[in-house]
Amino acid sequence: MRIAFGEIVQETGTFTRARTGRDAFEAYGLFQGAELLEQLAGVGPLGGFLQVAADRDQAVELVPLSRAWAGAGAKILDETYDELLEMLLEPLRSAGELDALFLSLHGAASIERDDDLEGAVLEAVRDVIGPDVPLACPLDHHANITTRMVEMADLLVGHETQPHNTLGTGVKAARLLFDWLETGRRPTIGWRKIPMITPQDQFLTSGGPMKAWFDRARELEQRAEVLDVSPYPMQPWLDVAEGGWAVVVHTDGDADLADALAAEMGEMAWEMREDFWKSERVEVSEAVGRAYAHEDGLLILSDTGDSVYGGAPGDSTWILKELLAQATAQPESDRPMLVPIVDPDAVAVARSAGIGAEVTVSLGGKIDNEFSQPIEVTARVAAISENHEVHAGERGTAEIGQVVLLQSGPVHIVVMAAAGFAICHPMLYQHLGLDVGQARAVVVKTASNFQYFDDWRRALIRVDSPGMTQSDLAAFTWTRTPRPIFPFDADVTWDSGA
Ligand SMILES: [Zn+2]
């Protein structure tokens, strides 16, 4: 049995004029051929695929193509996409006869000339492998499922949880693919688009309406003839054609059942649509006031508008500005307030000044000056580091790059030359000698991925900060998303067609 595998993953936020180039993919490891086998064991959906392939009784000949992964960011440049696609297609064209293709995608990536990167990639690989070779795709459940994706792929399997278990999704999709290859029974697909969009506030699958919706998917999967039920609450910073929530159901050959369950799952989300808009966001100055008053353990200040994992640049100054303003009322020796920010210019200034020097820098608000502005900060350079590596389990290895620690009273600012995975990870502070357990609060540039701080976390405030990933979705200008859509249009109705 010969199975080719590869990956092109990025999560696009469209509310910025910035663009993502090849360097963003190189930063996370752009791999070709045998490098995939060396680098991806235990990492992400392809790690899950490799694990299942190794566990099967039948011998599997693996044909590694290419792997491009870039976290979240702005739209991908057309020329970068063309290069990445060719890296995937070239070995696929010369792969010879294949029994299947396993292709890891995000589902919410856009390039300049096409809103739907995944649809374009699937169309291109289908063109090479022909209509009959099974094509399985693990996806992020924040994907925007499009007609082209459903037409081109055979299996579209989303994450079961937020925070995501990316390896587990790879395992699930790979098992369905191998079962198909071994039994010869082709899965059938049913799906629905749901005309709604919601902010990230209720995105965790551990509680609220999202838990109810995902729990129902797991319940339906208990039925023998149901292979997979994947809800897709699309990430909300994506203004694209066919934008909106979706659900995809795979059954063991029963097309009517797949269709009926997709309709049922769609109706369930639609009926809960108001609940998905419930919010506990706190205005910036009030959130910071509460943070300084916080006594017991570590408080997490979630910078919801500047979520790096959601595609924002990580250089918002909204919370930092308020932390510095309110710090004057605090003792110098107060428990630390930890804040990350991206600013390569400030890193250069601090590095040339050296450890112990006092510097005055214009900080942040430069990459994304649509939503926040630079602030002037005078602080002591307390530490400098370069190219420290973070090992983050199934996320693989990430390099922190150039970093400086600036201290101004109780506010400890870790300035990064470039954003990256570590921006929401305790390693960013620990590698500079800071004790996360002693801190009063930490700002995290995410609205969902707090899990890395679980050992210390005692409280959480979702800060209503402006930015590319803000929860106030009505403040963006939407031009591509199909209308009418809930909640932007009054009295939207939807019929699942059940
Ligand atoms: Zn996601």
Convert the pLDDT of each residue in 437-488 to its tens digit: 999 999 999 998 899 999 999 999 999 999 999 989 998 999 999 999 999 9
pLDDT at 26 > cutoff 80: yes
Q: What contacts 267, CB < 8 A, 6 or more positions away?
A: 496, 498
d(C-alpha 438, C-alpha 435), whole Å: 5
125 and 235 within one domain: yes
Indicate whether 262 pLDDT > 90: yes
Mean pLDDT in residue range 12-26: 92
CA 357–ligand 1 middle distance (angstroms): 41
Gap between the Cα atoms of 455 and 426, Å rounded: 10
Q: What pLDDT is recorded for position 311?
A: 85
Token pair of 152 as six digits: 């081109």
The DSSP secondary-structure symbol of 75 reads P
Distance 142 CA to ligand 1 centre (A): 5
Q: Give 378 or 498, the one with higher predicted confidence.
A: 378
pLDDT at 365 over 90: yes
Query: What local confidence, expressed as pLDDT, does residue 448 receive?
Result: 87
Residues 396 and 273 in one domain: no
Residue 83 lies in a domain: yes
382 and 241 share a domain? no
The first and second tokens of residue 211, run together, are 């838990």
What is the 269 CA–ligand 1 centroid distance (Å)?
A: 18
Token readout for 290 is 């509460």
Check residue 329 and give its pLDDT: 83
Q: Is the domain of 346 the same as that of 378?
A: yes
CA of 482 to the centre of ligand 1 (A): 22
Same domain, 332 and 198: no
Could you tell me if 156 and 150 are in contact, meaning their C-beta atoms sit under 8 angstroms apart?
A: yes
How far away, in angstroms, is 294 Cα from ligand 1 center? 30
The mean of the pLDDT values for the chain is 95
**DSSP-assigned letter for residue 142:** T
Q: Are residues 147 and 290 in the same domain?
A: no
Average pLDDT value for residue range 74-101 = 98
Verify that 233 and 299 share a domain, yes or no.
no
Residue 429 pLDDT class (50, 70, 90 cuts): very high
pLDDT at 61: 96
Of the candidates 277, 312, 341, which is a domain's last residue?
A: 277
Spatial distance between the Cα atoms of 329 and 172, rounded to a whole number of angstroms? 53
Å from CA of 164 to ligand 1 middle: 7
pLDDT at 396 over 80: no
Burial of 91 per CB tally in 10 Å (0-12, 13-18, 19+): middle
Q: Give the pLDDT confidence score for residue 17 in this predicted structure.
A: 84
Co-location of 265 and 394 in the same domain: no
Query: Residue 130's pLDDT is what?
Result: 98
290 and 202 in a common domain: no
Distance CA 443, CA 440 (A): 10
Ligand 1 centre distance from Cα of residue 145 (Å): 13
140 Cα to the center of ligand 1, angstroms:
5
12 Cα–ligand 1 center, Å: 11
**Cα of 284 to ligand 1 centre, how many Å?**
25
| Residue 217 forms part of a structural domain | yes
Question: 3-state DSSP call for residue 432?
Answer: coil
Backbone angles phi, psi at 313, to 5 degrees: -80, -15
Q: What is the pLDDT of residue 292?
A: 95
Question: Would residue 64 count as lying in a domain?
Answer: yes
* Residue 476: CB atoms within 10 Å: 16
CA distance 468 to 13: 8
Q: Distance, CA 202 to ligand 1 centroid (Å)?
A: 13
For residue 445, what are the domain limits?
A: 284-470
Per-residue pLDDT band for 369 (boundaries 50, 70, 90) equals confident
Tally of domains in the chain: 2
**Domain-embedded: residue 484:** no
Distance between CA atoms of residues 390 and 387, nearest Å: 9
50 and 184, same domain (yes or no):
yes
Q: Establish if 493 belongs to a structural domain.
A: no
Examine residue 495 and state whether it is found in any structural domain, yes or no. no
Report if residue 329 sits inside a domain.
yes
Pairing state between β 226-232 and 411-416: unpaired
Using CA atoms, how far apart are residues 281 and 377, in angstroms rounded to an integer?
Answer: 27
Stretch 193-209: mean pLDDT: 96
Q: How far is the CA of 129 from the centre of ligand 1 (A)?
A: 28
Same domain for 270 and 349, yes or no, is no
Domain boundary among 223, 250, 277: 277
Interval between CA 449 and ligand 1 midpoint (Å) = 10
Domain boundary among 239, 255, 277: 277
Cis peptide preceding 487, ω within 30 of 0: yes
Q: What is the predicted pLDDT for the residue at 397? A: 76
Percent of the chain exceeding pLDDT 70 equals: 99
CA of 180 to the centre of ligand 1 (A): 27
Looking at the predicted structure, is the pLDDT value of residue 332 above 80? no
User: Does some domain include residue 482?
Assistant: no
Q: Using alpha carbons only, how large is the chain's radius of gyration in Å?
A: 23
A 10 A CB-CB count for 297 gives 12
Candidates 465, 396, 493; CA nearest to 194 is 493
| Rounded distance from Cα 162 to ligand 1 centre (Å) | 7
**DSSP assigned state of 152:** H
Same domain, 26 and 112: yes
Of 133-137, 369-373, 395-399, which gets the smallest average pLDDT?
395-399
